[in-house]
Homo-oligomer: A and B are copies of this chain.
Amino acid sequence: MKEAAGKSKSEETRGRILTAALHLFRENGFDQTTMREVAREAGVALGSAYYYFESKETIVMAFYHQAQDAMVARIEQDLPKQKGLKSRLRTILDVKFQHFEPNRKFLGALLAHTADPKNPLSPFSEQTRDLRDKDAAQFAQAVEGSGTKVPDDLKEHLPHLLWMFQMGLILFWMYDRSPGQRRTLVLVDKSLDLVVSLIKFSGLPLMKPVRRTVLEVVRAVSGD
């Protein structure tokens, strides 16, 4: 097996299949695209598609991994330009939606299994923990660099809470039938206000009991 600089022959075939698939997914949607079409467009036999990808959905997952790398880079570049907490959080969300937008038609295929505990591609599954953690790390960074004071007990959980918040928005966006998903824009703005307020108020002494209850819930969710 030679391991040349660019792409081994094998990598190139895999790439061709991925490209063909994403092209067809974008064109006709996930469900409308058949694996036979993908194979044909990639110029390989049906079996080959399965040699490189476990399943149809795995292809979407490959896209997602690819996209995340790009998004992480982009966010790392844009984040330092923003100072306030809201604008920093918004930067992350903007990059996400911008990258997802041309692929809305088939990203649903992944989200469709959000709630399926058995599916390894579910955003809550063990297999996608890595993606989650990377996302959460960026949220941590966004909060960190904003100079916002966050109580210690909350600090630990905030990144994953923000990740959940993001998932909610993405879910809403998938459902959003308004032209150009304008309603999502409104929601992002309003809900960011809310989230930012909550984070800022969370430090007030008055909030201690509420915060404690919230954290108990969080702990119950994340497993004692």
Contact = CB atoms under 8 A, between A and B. Distances in A.
A173 B116 CA distance: 12
A210 interface: yes
A217 interface: yes
A216 to B, nearest CB: 5
Interface stretch (A3-11, A39-47, A62-70, A105-113): A105-113
Interface in A103-132: 108, 111-119, 124
A115 B118 contact: no
Interface stretch (A48-56, A71-79, A81-89, A184-192): A184-192
A183 B220 CA distance: 7
A137 interface: no
A124, A201, A220 pick with most chain B CB within 10 angstroms: A220
Contacts of A116: 108, 111-112
Given A124-B175, A175-B117, A187 B220 contact: yes
A101 to B, nearest CB: 16
Contact of A190 (B175, B186, B217, B223): B217
A36 to B, nearest CB: 22
Interface of A: 31, 108, 111-119, 124, 171-172, 174-175, 183, 186-187, 190-191, 193-194, 197-198, 201, 209-210, 213-214, 216-217, 220-221, 223-224
25 contacts: A31-B118, A108-B115, A108-B117, A111-B115, A111-B116, A112-B119, A114-B114, A114-B115, A115-B115, A115-B171, A117-B175, A183-B220, A186-B224, A187-B220, A190-B217, A191-B217, A191-B220, A193-B213, A194-B210, A194-B213, A194-B217, A197-B210, A197-B213, A198-B210, A201-B210
Kindly list the 9 A-B residue pairs having the minimum CB-CB distance in the complex, ordered from nearest: A114-B115, A112-B116, A187-B220, A111-B115, A117-B175, A194-B213, A190-B216, A190-B217, A186-B220
